[in-house]
Every structure is written in structure tokens, then in C-alpha cells.
Amino acid sequence: MVTVRKTITLTEQQGHWIRAQIEAGNYINDSEYIRDLIRREQERNAEIETIRAALREGESRGKPRPFDPVAFKQRMLITHE
């Protein structure tokens, strides 16, 4: 894997936060912490895009039908017995 060196500027508070995470044993160094933040953001964005795609698909299927929660619950009870 090719790596790219970046220089970032943090507030003093952010620097203390990262240092505390490292001292707590959650990360080995600053770079590991920041890479983890980026990975989690990438995963979160992928999840959001999956939800958006499902919403678009649902909207493309036409008008919604009325939802009967009581009937739904009964169907679920019968299905899972």
C-alpha cells in the first residue's frame, strides 16, 4: 500500500484528546488514530449511501400503501412460531 504524508493542524484541545487516546492504549500513535477516524467515516458514508439507495428504490415503486401495525404484528407472530 502506498502511503501519502500529510501535515495537519489541530487545536490544543484536539491534540490533548488524541494524546489521551494513545495514552489509554486505544491507539499506537497519532497517525493510527486519524486513519481509524477516516475508516469509520468511510464506513458511515457507505452505510448512509446504502440507506439512500434503498429509499430511492422504495420511492420509485410508486405510492405507499397504508400500514396496519396490528396486522403486521399478527403476521410476525404467526411466522415466528
- The answer to whether position 31 is within a domain reads yes
pLDDT digits (tens, 9 = 90+) for 5-64: 999 999 999 999 999 999 999 999 999 999 999 999 999 999 999 999 999 999 999 888
Residue-range definition of the domain harbouring residue 20: 1-62
- Is 18 within 8 Å of 10 (Cβ atoms)? yes
For 27, counting Cβ atoms within 10 Å of its Cβ (0-12 exposed, 13-18 middle, 19+ buried), the class is middle
- The answer to whether position 79 is within a domain reads no
Q: How much is the pLDDT for 61?
A: 92
- The answer to whether position 48 is within a domain reads yes
Domain count, the chain: 1
